[in-house]
Chains A and B, each alone.
Chain A
Amino acid sequence: MSAIRVNPYPMPDLLAALENLQQQQSTATLEMGTGSTINKPSDNPAGAAELVQIQNATSQLDSYQQSIGSINSQLSTADSTLSAVATVLQRAISLGVQGANGTLSDTDRSAIATELSGIQSQLISLANTTYQGQFLFAGTAETQPYVADTTAPSGVSYKGNSGTNSVTIGNGYQVQVNLPGSQVFNGPGADVFQAIQDLINGLNTNSGIPNAVTEVTNAYNYVTEQRVFYGNAMNQAQSQQTFLGTENVNLSQQENTVAGADMATVASQLSNDETAINATLSAMGSMPRNSLFDYLH
């Protein structure tokens, strides 16, 4: 007779099994707590590497969204400034038309000319509008773009430059955020300040008023055309904002796919582990305490 002899000491085996189960349970508890299946790189090396990329992409996206927020206010300030310029120019046109009326006295025309001088100052001030301390129409210069200058024919000279800035609002997607003042206010044959100055001069000398009115009208049309640039830029920013919103959702879905812990699975894993631990403990507890020695008398 020869039976297979078994290891009389199964305790170390059971302890090892218990340790494994407790390890599993603590991993599941951690997943439950963090909501993530990747709590250290070794949990899922490829997933951990992907998380680095997703984190980077998300951070980029957030910064694009912030940039869009900043440039939106800047663009809309510029846009409403140009809208104000257009209104002022319309007023100048109607004043010019009024002044071209032959029945007016010199005093009347001089009064109109004075009002136009006020308009000129108003225009200079609008062209010097700032957004958070930065002149909107100085190109990329930091100086005040328009200053009164008696040596210039228009009485105003441009101190800015012709530079433009662009801001990145997506991967490889840049949007230009400013037009230099020289392009907006000093268009060829459509110089706002020159036109107003010519109208003032015309009214003061009672000559060439209709021509000057045409000049102001041209300037008005030109500025209105330039304003389209800001409208377009705002539209671009707006639609990119929407796109980035969708991308953000995609990224968090991706992150969830890579590392999201399925709570139902984790919960059932936890309860399975608990059952297994209890079973092992009870196996350990119910190991015979007696041996044959106890029954020998």
Chain B
Amino acid sequence: MSSLFGTMSIATGALGAEEGALDATTNNVANANTPGYSRLQPVLVENDPVTTGSVTYGMGVSLEKLQSLRDPILQLRIQEETQQQGQLQAYVTAMQQAQVQFTTSNNDIGTEISNFFSSLNQLSTDPTDLSLRQGVLAAAANMATAFNNTSDNLSQERSNLDLQVSQDVSQVNVLTGQIANLNTQISQLQGVGQDASALEDQRDVLTGKLSNLIDVSTIQSDNGLTLTTSNGTALVIGGQRFTLSTQTTASGMQDIYSQGSDITSDLTSGELAGLIEVRDQTIPNLLSNLDTLSAGLANNLNAANAQGYTLVQQANGTLQPGGNIFVAPPASGQGAAATMAVAISDPSLIAASSDDAASASNGNVATLSAVQNQAIADGQTPTDYYSSLVFGVGSDVSNASAELTSSQSILNQLQDQLGSISGVSLNEEAANMVQYQNAFDAAAQMVTAINDMLYTVINMDTLTV
């Protein structure tokens, strides 16, 4: 059996439900521009009906909950792609700077090598001319300087990357600390059955930032979110954060440690992985290639000079044999480019002559020039070796840039997709508002009507017919 009081409670229930729904709309509109906000959707459900005799009466509506619209799988994909992008971005940015050294210019290594051999060609036309000899020494010094500068700049960049690594590690620790705090708050709220979607949104934003820095795997467990690196190093477990630290190694660069173990080489994505790849692999490889080339040039030119004779006459009347033009590079070759230097300042010590009795001979200039066409570095001529180096640097950067572009467009698409699920549309909210407002108005009218009816019933005896 229905009663007026029962009907009244349906109407007031509706007022409450519509008010709650309107609250969701208000919150959505208020957060329309909040990063990471997932829109709320009111979940309205019909109350269980009551059957009296043959009539079934509806019992109105209740607001079950305000549901936050999110897509965890999509968020996971975004997280992965963000890590990928963070890595590529770091790699490309660092290598863009490195490749400038290898752009053909007036004083890059390739040009200075060519200039040096050109100066030898000039010397062969007049081997006793001191200004031509001076020209060879100047070109040798320029070549050495080109190696020094390129090598120094690359080393400098390594140090800059190293600094960035330690800054990123601090940033990671800040983020994992914040995430651990949110984990605690979220599980407290959920423990008492409350909605924690606002905090979850914040945690998503922080996890996104963390993904940009380091590779993160997320595991949703009972006590909140567990974050680890892809090889299983814990970053956050529930409310506990595991800080990363850096420690300077023998190489002078900082390695990343988690709870005493070195995880530097385990990082596979995120900005840190990109920085570490350039710092520990790409640039050291380039430096070692430069060392090979400069040591090959210095050793072979020194050997060629030793085969000839200088302008200096010895006590016995013969000419003094040539010595080193370049300071002998370290035997291991390591650091050869950074330390390459001309060993002589007296131009007469260039051994142009191939005859210990004839100072105007140019016979040994050909031996010096021949180094240009000899396999002096890993079986390649100086120019071939350098041009392969340029190719290597160029294709590294151009491949990584292409990957970065595609990663960016994938990320854009994914974010579009997420936006279509979680983003707030003001039009939609306006329509909802109108709808909930109208329903609220109608319910209020119902309350007035029922109130009138109750008044009628209560005053029934005093009414005169």
Contacts and interface: CB of A to CB of B under 8 A. Distances in A.
A48 B394 contact: yes
A63 B121 contact: yes
A50 B416 CA distance: 42
Contacts of A140: 353, 355, 358-363
A256 to B, nearest CB: 14
A287 interface: no
A172 B133 CA distance: 23
Contacts of A142: 128, 358-360
Given A63-B122, A141-B359, A8 B394 contact: no
B126 A70 contact: yes
Which of A52, A63, A168 has the most CB atoms of chain B within a 10 A radius of its CB? Answer: A52
A42 B426 CA distance: 45
A74 to B, nearest CB: 7
Interface extent on A, as a size class?
35 or more
Contacts of A41: 99, 102-103, 390-391, 393-394, 397
B103 A163 contact: no
Contacts of B434: 296
Interface in A37-82: 38-46, 48-53, 55-56, 59-60, 62-64, 66-67, 70-71, 74
B360 A141 contact: yes
Contacts of B353: 140
A133 B128 contact: yes
Interface in B314-363: 353, 355, 357-363
A9 B431 contact: no
Contacts of A166: 362, 366
Contacts, number: 191
A170 B419 CA distance: 67
Interface stretch (B108-116, B229-237, B264-272): B108-116
A74 B416 contact: no
B121 A165 contact: no
B388 interface: yes
A17 to B, nearest CB: 9
Contacts of A16: 408-409, 412
Nearest to A295: B430
Nearest to B388: A49
A71 to B, nearest CB: 6
Nearest to B430: A292
Contacts of B387: 49-50, 52-53
Contacts of B359: 140-142
A125 to B, nearest CB: 20
A56 B397 CA distance: 24
Contacts of B99: 40-42
B423 A9 contact: yes
Instruction: Specify which of B95, B127, B388 lies most central, judged by the most chain A CB atoms within 10 Å of its CB.
Output: B127
Interface of B: 95-96, 99-100, 102-104, 110-111, 113-115, 117-119, 121-122, 124-129, 353, 355, 357-363, 366, 369, 383-384, 386-388, 390-398, 401, 408-409, 412, 415-417, 419-421, 423-431, 433-434
Given A165-B360, A166-B366, 5 more contacts: A40-B100, A52-B104, A52-B387, A66-B121, A67-B125
